[in-house]
A and B are shown apart, each in its own frame.
Chain A
């Protein structure tokens, strides 16, 4: 047994007192991420490097204290919410670019680096880092590794898994080790692959070797405007069937367009039923004809208008709207519950119909933004958490929508991860034996259940009562046992 005072003192001995957060008011701001789950840790600590991180992890293991890694806290599945309290390890002191090697097209960075800063720095060498989550101005490379993050431009280029060659990690057991390296094609078991997308349940990343890719020679960005989501969805399949792989193909529905236009004034048609944001890139000789045929496909399937960005500024504005669209829903409601389901592209139309039927049945408003090219849906259920019972209805509707995705032959997450929110749905897709094998991977990395607990795999008891313990926890002073 240890008191909070002792815990804080021992963390401070490792990382220095200014790098440990422990006051009640200061902990309050570490209870959330981008989702609706909330829980406060006992302490937050910011190590400077791998060895401090390892020392913190070993200390927590010695004390039997749960550990939750955290980047920028922009995650969308509750992955960095300290479900069973304990210690949050933040990466914000590890945010340097250690090296950019243009000849080999790699960069070595620390985990707390905001995603966009890598592409900004690489631009000087004509390169960029492909995974571009909509939160890329804030979210960190380490968090991207944990969630195997995607983004609009992952349609053609692939997700984080395809763009990280190696990792220095502190395992859940407290060891420092390298997985993968500076070159592709590492032999042996692909533990790097196992770690990416492990949602902080196997350890904490302390260095990342990122692949950089050349900036495209030319880019065409189109905005196709439709009266209905159905027409837009059908167009997505048609474009892929025509043999094109656009760099990005994003859809937004009416509600989302209204919010984005209100908040970001990006020139979207606020009265349209849906839009497709299409981007084609590559050599100008190829992109020109492709853009022409994409435009023709759109018009043939009911687009009322297809606009083309005529300058870098216009292109940026179109993307600003898409990347800020989710946050812009704050214009419409104080809270949203964002879902992240994947369905086969051919089922887009059917599943979209189910989504709207389910939200209607629960009397809830639902906005839709999605990476249409990947069949990756993001239904956003809008609500006000201060209305009693609202959150429960939202969670129920969310579960039904996820069920509809799975029944259509899809999956539970395209890029946000399973986190806390969806771990209980895992048995819909995986057998007990499947889940047991996944659980054994945790043991390999030394996670005996306290490292980012209640995430990714279905958890037993002890994780389900998050919201209900708050009152009791607030009473706990510095000398209470933790």
Chain B
């Protein structure tokens, strides 16, 4: 029922999605940016009201409106608590598409961002070339020396990126590479390799495959798969996200489960059906593909193998937003950790509040990202965990920085790495 006097792009949010919100306000305290600012315009209810006002032609898409939408982390914590089932994640992606069609500010950086997302992130060879120096630097001696000296040698935005690099990035693991094979493989599964994940966190993929192998599941990093398109969709580049989705659907036929160890990718791929619902050639295949997607923790917990491993540490599990809020998986990772001998699982305040990494958000909105990171750092300082476990590469990188900020000596691990290390230490009988 839009009556906007200005043209709305094809991917603008639908009036049906917008009108589902009855502005009851139950979401506002779940929102990290509302928690930090206390401003209604930085709350989910406020952002939807603005989207509706633009849709109905009450106000134009101004720079102020855009900045409220830009500040959204797309963590979807609001969606998980909404009693009306407002599809906030979908609304905000479509809002971003609307912004991309007619930006009211930051048009040039936006174009550059889109270019990089399309031509670097989504192109494995280019990405590999770009990430290689960062990976070398991450584990290098000069970096360790500089860290010890505490010298501030980089401009702040670069320094923030640098602080996020993992301390021990493993060898990359790309689509087509071989993975640990179980003694007796009874079933096969696809391992989704992703973009940055495979370049900076090859170790997580290997750990994932090892944990699965011990359970008789052979993980295969099937060739031809590529970036899931989540970052593009979050940026409002839905057309390109659809292309990437189609490419993955073509590359991964069959009905083996698709194991994803990056929460953001998993959430996006579980929604391929929705993303491609208007594509007559792909709609059904996309829905079938989405039904095969499993988060690592979801898949392993469902195998229900007897507890094994030994991991003597105080562990703080931090929910990845797109695991807890988008995929609604909270209990399985905790249950897997709790079942390990020696693992002392502690709940830190705000464990399910966004860390501020949020895809490329920490680069685009460094101020808010840092404010949220500081909340995590404060929680870590108070509860002093030995290990911080999460389930998404972006979060892992943000926690590396948070640990530094807190000045504590905790390791940051992916759930798969923690399980793998525990099981190596005390293999199953």
Q: Chain A residues in contact with chain B, CB under 8 A?
A: 21, 23-26, 28-30, 32-34, 46, 72-74, 90, 92-93, 95, 112, 114, 135, 137-139, 260, 262-264, 324-331, 334-336, 384, 386, 474
Contact = CB atoms under 8 A, between A and B. Distances in A.
A384 B19 contact: yes
Contacts of B49: 28-29, 32
B1 interface: yes
Contacts of B20: 330-331, 334
For B62, B68, B84, the residue with the greatest tally of chain A CB atoms inside 10 Å of its CB is B84
A135 B22 contact: no
Nearest to B30: A137
A23 B64 contact: yes
Contacts of B85: 262-263, 328, 330-331
Nearest to A260: B83
Q: Which 5 A-B pairs have the closest CB atoms?
A: A330-B84, A324-B83, A92-B38, A327-B83, A334-B19
A28 B50 contact: yes
B26 interface: yes
Interface stretch (B39-47, B283-291, B376-384): B39-47
B332 interface: no
A92 B27 CA distance: 15
B58 interface: yes
A328 B45 CA distance: 15
B88 to A, nearest CB: 12
Interface in B30-87: 30, 38-41, 43, 45-46, 49-50, 53, 58-59, 62, 64-65, 68, 81-86
Given A137-B29, A328-B84, A329-B84, A93 B38 contact: yes
A45 B50 CA distance: 20
Given A33-B25, A330-B86, A336-B22, 17 more contacts: A25-B50, A25-B65, A29-B45, A30-B40, A33-B23, A34-B23, A34-B24, A135-B26, A137-B30, A137-B81, A260-B83, A263-B82, A263-B83, A330-B20, A330-B24, A334-B19, A474-B58
Contacts of A325: 83
B21 interface: yes
A26 B38 contact: no
Contacts of B68: 25
B230 interface: no
Contact of A32 (B23, B59, B64): B23
B47 to A, nearest CB: 8
B200 interface: no
A474 B23 CA distance: 22
A324 B26 contact: yes
Secondary structure call for the B interface: loop
A377 to B, nearest CB: 19
B41 A331 contact: no
A27 to B, nearest CB: 9
A223 B82 CA distance: 23
16 contacts: A23-B64, A25-B41, A25-B59, A26-B41, A29-B40, A29-B46, A34-B24, A74-B26, A264-B83, A325-B83, A327-B22, A329-B22, A330-B24, A335-B22, A384-B19, A386-B1
Nearest to A91: B38
Contacts of A139: 25
Nearest to A324: B83
Contacts of B28: 72, 138
B25 A326 contact: no
A46 B83 contact: no
A72 B25 contact: yes
Nearest to A470: B58
Nearest to B54: A25
Contact of B39 (A92, A326, A384): A92
A463 B132 CA distance: 66
A328 B39 contact: no
Nearest to A386: B1
B26 A327 contact: yes
A32 B45 CA distance: 10
Contacts of A73: 25, 40
Contact of A74 (B25, B64, B65, B86): B25
Nearest to B24: A327
Nearest to A70: B40
A137 B58 contact: no
A218 B136 CA distance: 59
A326 B23 CA distance: 11
A29 B50 contact: yes
A378 to B, nearest CB: 13
A21 B84 CA distance: 29
Contacts of B19: 334, 384, 386
B244 to A, nearest CB: 31
A376 to B, nearest CB: 18
B421 to A, nearest CB: 31
A28 B57 CA distance: 13
A186 to B, nearest CB: 32
A87 B82 CA distance: 30
Contacts of B50: 25, 28-29
A331 B85 CA distance: 7
Contact of B24 (A21, A26, A46, A74): A74
Nearest to B84: A330
A135 B24 contact: yes
A25 B62 contact: yes
Nearest to B85: A263
A273 B211 CA distance: 49
Interface in B305-325: none
Contacts of A30: 40
A171 to B, nearest CB: 24
B79 to A, nearest CB: 11
Given A24-B59, A263-B85, A326-B83, A29 B41 contact: yes
Nearest to A112: B38
Contacts of A328: 83-85
Nearest to A321: B83
A264 B26 CA distance: 13
Contacts of A95: 38
Contacts of B1: 386
A73 B23 CA distance: 9
Interface in B276-302: none
Contacts of A262: 85
Contacts of B38: 46, 90, 92-93, 95, 112
A102 B29 CA distance: 26
For A26, A112, A263, the residue with the greatest tally of chain B CB atoms inside 10 Å of its CB is A26
A334 B19 CA distance: 5
A252 to B, nearest CB: 13
For B26, B41, B65, B81, the residue with the greatest tally of chain A CB atoms inside 10 Å of its CB is B26
A221 to B, nearest CB: 19
A138 B43 CA distance: 12
For B19, B27, B43, the residue with the greatest tally of chain A CB atoms inside 10 Å of its CB is B19
